[in-house]
Amino acid sequence: MIRNSLFLKIYATLLAALAIVAFSSAVFWWVGQSREEEGWRGRRDRFIAAMLPPADGAAQLRPTLERLGRAFDAEIAVYAPDGRLIAANDRDFPQRLRRREWEDGSGGPMRRARGMHAMLVPLDDGRSVAVRMTGADGPGGGLAYLAMIAAVTGLASYPVVRHLTRRLETLRRGVDAWGEGALVTRVPANGSDEVAAVAKSFNRAADHIERMIVAHRTLLANASHELRSPLARLRMAIDLYEINPGHARKDEIVRNLGELDDLVEEILLASRLDHAQGLDRTEPVDLLALASEEGARNGIQVSGVPAIVDGDPKLLTRLVRNLMQNALRHGAPPVEVEVARAGPSVTLSVRDHGAGIPEAEGDRVFEAFYRPSGRGEQAGGWGLGLSLVRQIAEHHAGAVRHETPGDGGARFVVSVPAADPASPAAAATARRRPPQA
């Protein structure tokens, strides 16, 4: 779980970094403070020794202590070498000095309350000066300040880290839901950081995969529906053939088997083109020669100019054949086919003189198993013919469109890039017949 791993790792790393920074700062500060205090202690001791009168000037000692006390807001006492109190500007100093309490760092009765700073300054003549003043207890105040900074920074960084990991948790939940089958799941992609980029990539991938799955489901549903009619006719023809064998029954069986074979072949080809990233092989193909051969098989006149394109001959043959058969099956004669050059592209135009296609449905005819509005189920749909035409054109870096001529009918125009005319292979292909699909 991200909550139990990533968030804790990030936050613990941040807190550890703060602790290291605070500790390092404290060490450097302590070392610097110690060195500074050592230098200051020597100057302090010489300053106090110079300010106090000598041992034989006891009369001036108390007034001097009172002036120093007022100047530094401190309580000052002077002890003799044997620890006896000589003079002080405050009555709370003990009468005897216990040096062991200074050696263990406690200060004993010299420190009257917490927050009171006490120090003992030895003089060259054996006397000792005890000073009490309010202030921080050494470096402890600095350490507390560093600890406070680290704590505040840690608390302030908590919502920032939590916000980041919460977005990752949302992304994880979305991926889990999508993986469990909720294909409509999308994750928020707000912002412009790396998390938002991952969310946008996931949404794009989810959209693409959802479209593919929906398309495959639709293809499977429509294919199963289209297969029912030839299968039913085939079963009936077989039953009738058993009762009354004859050439007509046999031809009906063969025709239905051929229809089933064509439909299965188109379904397999459509599925292969859906998953193919590019063409398996390409070679220069004379589109006019290819169209003329297919036109001869279907009784269609083909006109135009020789035009060489780089592509898969079998797929291009399927493209031309599907367009011609679509015009013969759903349009009306005469069917006109023309190959032309249009700048860097080659165009193939197939036109019929039938009822045409409504302008609003011109793009939908390229959908798999598209059924025009008003067409009954008995009449069937348009199968995969035009859908394969679009797939093949796109795999050749081209496109196909539907046009409605002014005098009726329908025209389908395929545009693909022309091959380099200077290529020797392209020149040789102009004199070669394309292979059969």
Question: For the segment 408-423, what is each residue's pLDDT rounded down to a tens digit?
Answer: 888 999 999 988 765 5
Last residue of a domain, one of 217, 241, 275: 275
Residue 219 has pLDDT above 60, yes or no: yes
Last residue of a domain, one of 251, 275, 299: 275
Question: Using an 8 Å Cβ cutoff, are 393 and 302 in contact?
Answer: no
Classify the C-alpha dihedral 94-98-101-104 as positive or negative: positive
Reported as a pLDDT band with limits 50, 70 and 90, residue 137 is very low
CATH number of 372's domain? 3.30.565.10
Question: Using an 8 Å Cβ cutoff, are 407 and 419 in contact?
Answer: no
Q: Is 436 a member of any domain?
A: no
How far apart, in Å, are the Cα atoms of 270 and each of 116, 216, 282, 397? 91, 10, 19, 17
- The answer on 306 and 222 residing in a single domain is no
Q: Across 47-51, 176-180, 181-185, 400-404, which has the greatest mean pLDDT?
A: 400-404
- The answer on 290 and 425 residing in a single domain is yes
- The answer on 412 and 339 residing in a single domain is yes
Range of the domain at 224: 187-275
Confidence (pLDDT) at 388: 84
- The answer on 254 and 223 residing in a single domain is yes
Segment 403-407 mean pLDDT: 83
Which one has a higher pLDDT value, 160 or 72? 72
Q: Is 369 a member of any domain?
A: yes
Give the whole-angstrom CA distance, residue 25 versus residue 175. 44
Segment 257-280 mean pLDDT: 73
Give the whole-angstrom CA distance, residue 407 versus residue 60. 131
CATH number of 200's domain? 1.10.287.130
Lowest pLDDT segment from 96-100, 202-206, 274-278, 346-350: 274-278
- The answer on 268 and 250 residing in a single domain is yes
Confidence (pLDDT) at 413: 93
Instruction: List, in order, residues 6 or more apart from 77 with CB less than 8 Å away.
Output: 65, 85, 86, 87, 88, 89, 90, 93, 129, 130
Whole-number average pLDDT of the chain: 76
- The answer on 114 and 26 residing in a single domain is yes
Q: Please, what's the b/e burial string for 109-126 (b: 16 or more CB within 10 A of its CB; e: otherwise)?
A: ebeeeeeeebbbbebeee
- The answer on 301 and 270 residing in a single domain is no
- Token pair for 53: 């009168």
Segment 72-100 mean pLDDT: 83
Confidence (pLDDT) at 3: 46
Does the global pTM surpass 0.85?
A: no
- Token pair for 232: 């039913």
- The answer on 365 and 302 residing in a single domain is yes
Last residue of a domain, one of 109, 142, 175: 142
Give the chain's domain count.
3
- The answer on 294 and 417 residing in a single domain is yes
Q: Is 348 a member of any domain?
A: yes
DSSP state of 400: E
Which one has a higher pLDDT value, 7 or 277? 277
- The answer on 292 and 423 residing in a single domain is yes
What is the amino acid identity at position 368? A
Lowest pLDDT segment from 274-283, 294-303, 323-332: 274-283
Reported as a pLDDT band with limits 50, 70 and 90, residue 324 is very high
Confidence (pLDDT) at 48: 78
Q: Is 169 a member of any domain?
A: no
Q: Is 217 a member of any domain?
A: yes
- Token pair for 301: 């006149």
- The answer on 376 and 332 residing in a single domain is yes
What is the SS3 assignment for 74? Answer: coil
Confidence (pLDDT) at 314: 87
Confidence (pLDDT) at 433: 45
How many other CB atoms sit within 10 Å of the CB of residue 236?
A: 14
Reported as a pLDDT band with limits 50, 70 and 90, residue 85 is confident
- The answer on 314 and 267 residing in a single domain is no
Residue 161 has pLDDT above 80, yes or no: no
**Tens digit of each residue's pLDDT (9 = 90 or more) over 10-49:** 767 777 777 777 777 766 666 655 555 555 666 767 777 7
Which one has a higher pLDDT value, 231 or 96? 96
Which one has a higher pLDDT value, 135 or 321? 321
Which one has a higher pLDDT value, 288 or 125? 288
Lowest pLDDT segment from 168-177, 216-225, 255-264, 295-304: 216-225
Q: Is 159 a member of any domain?
A: no
Which one has a higher pLDDT value, 178 or 220? 178
How many other CB atoms sit within 10 Å of the CB of residue 15?
A: 17
Q: Across 236-240, 246-250, 391-395, 421-425, which has the greatest mean pLDDT?
A: 391-395
Confidence (pLDDT) at 346: 93
Q: Is 267 a member of any domain?
A: yes
Q: Is 151 a member of any domain?
A: no
Give the whole-angstrom CA distance, residue 319 versus residue 321. 6
Long-range contact pairs involving 30-33 (C-beta distance under 8 Å, separation at least 24):
30/139, 30/142, 33/139, 33/142
Reported as a pLDDT band with limits 50, 70 and 90, residue 338 is very high
